[in-house]
Amino acid sequence: MANKLDLMDIRQLIRLHSDGLSNRKVGKTLGIHRNTINDYIRRIKATEVSPEELLNLDDAELQELFPSHTTIDNDRYEQLMAFLEGVHKARHHPGFTFQYHHREYVNTHSNPYSETQFIEHYRRKYTREKGSMKLEHQPGNEMFIDYAGKKLSVVDKNTGEIKDVEVFVAILPNSQYTYVKACYSQKREDLIGCITNALSFYGGVPKAIVSDNLKSAVTRACKYEPEINRSLKEFACHYGCAINPTRTYSPQDKALVENAVNLTYQRIYHPLREMTFFSLEELNQQIRLLLNRYNDQLFQRKQASRKELFQSVERGYLKPLPVSKYELKDYKRAKVQKMGYVYFSPDKTYYSVPYRFIGKQTQLHYTQSTVEVFYNHQRIAIHHRNPVTGTYVTHKDHLCSTHKAYLEWSPDHFKKKALKHGQAVHDFVRGLLDGYDYPEVNYRRITGILQLSKEYGSERLNKACKRALYADTFSYHMIKNILKNNLDGHPLEQSLDATTSHIPEHENVRGADYFN
């Protein structure tokens, strides 16, 4: 009498026989004697039930058709069960395969089970049914984002080079309203640019943006507390939302956007398969046309499109967009130099900071339009970015009093200061300035002359300048000697009369007549 098989073996036998394998091949595959196989094939045919119907029967119904107790070789079965315990422990080790462990089992046991039976016994011993949960998504609560695994391409007109481009996908889960855009990379600037465009496309901001664990979004991945990229944090603060990365290796956390990516392949990639694009703008223009058609298509069971559901329900739950778009920020460290400026290396320019921070280490936050200087997390200066190499960008309020005064030096500035001491001082200073093509050479000389008013007073300085003007002599030392020798007190006409000798009379002085 042939051996009796358990229900699992019977199901395997029925399946292999229905696949067209011979009785001998079925017996070899299952490790069962061919006489047993022949017996069960005859019994299966006698039931007059198709193999498909037999496989759909539950265990109780199948047991009624083939009533018997199992006749498994207990020693052989127990050896397999003991070996499978070690297999199960190694189940999650990298590189695990059933093929490797079955080969090891065959090499160490006599009369081993076939690989099919080996796997079937393992799955029966360690049955694990993993259920799934249907999530209800609140309108306006989240926006899921992801990049498609497959890329599109554009062709360089000049070189003919084919360049692959990334495809960004965003979806609002309540209405499943989808946004798709091609970009050059998954880098931080492209990611933030795509999210910005997606929010503009939706016309509002959800409470949270759910992202994958991209390097451009997450600095350090963690199941419980991932570290968000600083730029993305600032972006979220600007738009008033949160960034919520999914768990690593958990695609079910963003199943809707994963499905949206697959639908993107069907509704956008496939129609574009035979088209050639020579710029990213051309590609995105065509994507937008196909995307509008996709969002307008009716759901099979809702009798409404994604766009209709978004406009009628979800749009009202989104927060309004901020007045201005977010500008991507970068960061640099810089020490305040002795002259009160920080060096901005990307443009090779200099920006002023308040002079009291000279020698301090600061951090620069810069965008395409501004440069901000922070010290101990407090902003101490902000400038419009100047891309001209070597430029010194200065706010006068940052300078100390002496530096401010120096910046104010000009011919008009000194003329105004000189006029306060008298008309002659003004005329003398004007003579110094107007007599040179480069008036800056006389700035220090004029400063010295004006400083003499503190020692001698403005009235005497004005008289001294009048005397120097009369002599047509423009010199700091001339003014100083006049004041030092009190010559400013002498009558101007007497001292400078051409008929009066400037040599005092003396008996030893012979005069010009002596030589006639």
Q: pLDDT tens for residues 446-474? A: 888 888 888 888 888 888 888 888 777 78
The residue to which tokens 């009048």 are assigned: 466
Look up residue 232 and give its two tokens.
């993305």
Total H helices, total E strands in the chain: 20, 15
Question: How confident is the model at residue 241, as a pLDDT?
Answer: 86
Helix, strand, coil % in the chain, rounded to nearest 5: 45, 15, 40
For the domain with range 142-317, which CATH number is right: 3.40.50.300, 1.10.510.10, 3.30.420.10, 3.40.1640.10? 3.30.420.10
Q: What is d(CA 387, CA 370) in angstroms, rounded to the nearest whole number?
A: 11
Question: How confident is the model at residue 67, as a pLDDT?
Answer: 63
Which has the minimum average pLDDT: 275-279, 321-325, 434-438? Answer: 434-438
Look up residue 460 and give its two tokens.
């005497």
Q: Sorting pLDDT into bands at 50, 70 and 90, what band is 130?
A: low
Q: Sorting pLDDT into bands at 50, 70 and 90, what band is 490?
A: confident
Q: pLDDT tens for residues 201-252? A: 999 999 888 887 776 667 666 666 667 777 788 888 888 888 887 766 566 6
3-state secondary structure of 374: strand
**pTM to 2 decimals?**
0.51
pLDDT at residue 69 is higher than 50: no
The CA-CA-CA angle for residues 109, 111, 114, to 5°, reads 95
Give how far Cα 508 sits from Cα of 98, 433, 499, 505, 516, Å.
134, 46, 21, 9, 17
Would you tell me the crossing angle of helices 458-470 and 443-456 to the nearest 10 degrees? Answer: 130
The residue to which tokens 């039976």 are assigned: 117
Question: How confident is the model at residue 248, as a pLDDT?
Answer: 63
Q: Which long-range contacts (CB under 8 A, 24 or more apart) does 309-315 make?
A: 309/174, 309/175, 309/176, 309/177, 310/172, 310/175, 310/177, 310/202, 313/139, 313/174, 313/175, 314/139, 314/140, 314/172, 314/174, 314/175, 314/177, 315/202, 315/203, 315/204
Mean pLDDT (whole number) for 61-73:
62
Would you tell me the crossing angle of helices 23-30 and 7-18 to the nearest 10 degrees? Answer: 140
pLDDT at residue 55 is higher than 70: yes
Q: What is d(CA 21, CA 41) in angstroms, rounded to the nearest whole number?
A: 12
Select, from the ranges 197-201, 327-331, 376-380, the one with the highest average predicted confidence (pLDDT): 197-201
End-to-end Cα, the chain, rounded Å? 173
Question: How confident is the model at residue 377, as a pLDDT?
Answer: 84
pLDDT at residue 495 is higher than 60: no
Q: Position 396: which residue type? A: K
Question: How confident is the model at residue 286, as a pLDDT?
Answer: 92
Percent of the chain with pLDDT over 90: 11
Which has the minimum average pLDDT: 151-160, 428-437, 494-503? Answer: 494-503
Mean pLDDT (whole number) for 33-42:
81
The more confident residue out of 107 and 49 is 107
Question: How confident is the model at residue 70, as a pLDDT?
Answer: 47
CATH 3.30.420.10 domain residues, the chain = 142-317
Question: How confident is the model at residue 373, as a pLDDT?
Answer: 92
Question: How confident is the model at residue 374, as a pLDDT?
Answer: 92
pLDDT at residue 399 is higher than 80: no
Q: What is d(CA 71, CA 28) in angstroms, rounded to the nearest whole number?
A: 18
Q: What is d(CA 225, CA 220) in angstroms, rounded to the nearest whole number?
A: 9
Question: How confident is the model at residue 498, as a pLDDT?
Answer: 46
3-state secondary structure of 301: coil
Q: What is d(CA 219, CA 228) in angstroms, rounded to the nearest whole number?
A: 6
DSSP bridge pairs for 393: 351
Question: How confident is the model at residue 496, as a pLDDT?
Answer: 46
Mean pLDDT (whole number) for 347-374:
88
Q: pLDDT tens for residues 406-439? A: 555 667 777 888 888 888 888 888 888 776 655 6
Which has the minimum average pLDDT: 168-177, 179-188, 257-266, 356-365? Answer: 257-266
